[in-house]
Amino acid sequence: MKFRNFSNLDWQVSEIGLGCWAIGSEWGEVSAEDAQNVLKASLDNGVNFFDTADVYGDGRSEKFVGELIKSTTEKIYVATKSGRRLNPHTPEGYNLKNIEEFIDRSLVNLGVECIDLLQLHCPPSETCSRVDTYEMMDEIVKKGKIANYGVSVEKVSEAMDAIQFPNVKSIQIIFNIFRQKPNEEFFKEAANKNVAIIARVPLASGLLTGKMNKESLFPENDHRNYNINGEAFDVGETFSGVNYKKGLEAVERLKEFIPSDFTLTDLALKWILMHPEVSVVIPGAKNKLQAENNVKASDLNEIGQLMSQINLIYDEMIKEDIHHRW
């Protein structure tokens, strides 16, 4: 496992972390045993960055991560998120009383006194550009409940707004072979400001594993079933917003470029890691084997000779439908 700097903090984070949404909810059934095995396998294979949220299984994911914290003496970095418990989810809800209450709940779930990194969880666009948003976060830092904060966003424009505020340490954003817009302007600007980039949905909800086909079925409690058109939350979180049929066709073209010692998962993750501005990429896993497979890309050879061919598939098949939307 290779490690990367994280903002201007004295953190060396594994370039492949673990996204802990799947062990919480909305990806079909994941048993407690499988969730614990995912976390342990990740840790055993060099992962030291774990990303969760208070709404993943209504705290279930945070509690599993809390168990991991208690079980190890190794230094790990835990990032969680607040804001999506708001109902309605409005800019007015992002106030000190609400967010601090959510953070207090996360502190209990995680079993810690201070959260390493607290991210606002895909807040409304105007929240990302408001001065009082970050004054609120600075106040919570002063209280000692969080050490650092960042913003998880849906859109590049929201990321650009957020990094204008000097205490924002990180931006979490969807970035993968099928979602390339962040690399146009945002990555350079984030690097100039020393803001860490957390790349989420790296496998486009599994499309980029190459294991799906047009007959694939997903459980009722899997967002790849019930959010296919954005019925529950932003459609970009499901298959990166890519039309499923078109995504499968693009995957078939990508398979032509898989090196002999790679899987498509390896290729998709290595493509992200070829961008030095990315601090950590956070694939999820539902079982031990997936967790073990996720980390392999870190130690594989670079794929500089393939980047232009991979990007051409995006340009020809995906960009027209996706690029302007986020």
Which domain, by its residues, includes 182? Answer: 3-322
Q: How many domains does the chain have?
A: 1
The pLDDT-based confidence of 306 (bands split at 50, 70, 90) is very high
Structural element, H or E, at residue 189:
helix 186-192
Whether residue 228 has pLDDT greater than 80:
no
Let me know: does 103 contact 82? Beta carbons within 8 Å. Answer: yes
Neighbouring C-beta atoms of residue 299, cutoff 10 Å: 11
Is pLDDT at 31 greater than 80 in this prediction?
A: yes
Residue pair 49/65 in contact by the 8 Å Cβ criterion: no
Residue 111 binned pLDDT confidence (cut-offs 50, 70, 90): very high
Return the CATH number at 17: 3.20.20.100
Residue 227 confidence class, pLDDT cut points 50, 70, 90: confident
Q: At 188, which helix (H) or strand (E)? A: helix 186-192
Cβ burial of 110 (10 Å; 0-12, 13-18, 19+) is buried
Q: What residues does 200 pair with on adjacent strands?
A: 174
Residue 167 phi/psi, 5-degree rounding, is -95, 0
Q: What is the mean pLDDT of residues 226-237?
A: 81
Task: Please give the mean pLDDT across all residues of the chain.
Answer: 95
Cα separation, 25 vs 58, whole angstroms: 8
Average pLDDT of the residues in 160-178 = 98
Neighbours of 321 (CB within 10 A): 13
What is the predicted pLDDT for the residue at 290? 96
Q: Which of 180, 175, 234, 245 is nearest to 207 (CA)?
A: 245
Q: What is the rounded distance in angstroms from the CA atom of residue 3 to the CA atom of residue 11?
A: 9
pLDDT at 211: 87
Whether the predicted pLDDT of 26 surpasses 80: no
Overall pTM surpassing 0.85 (yes/no): yes
Tokens of 113: 């006194």
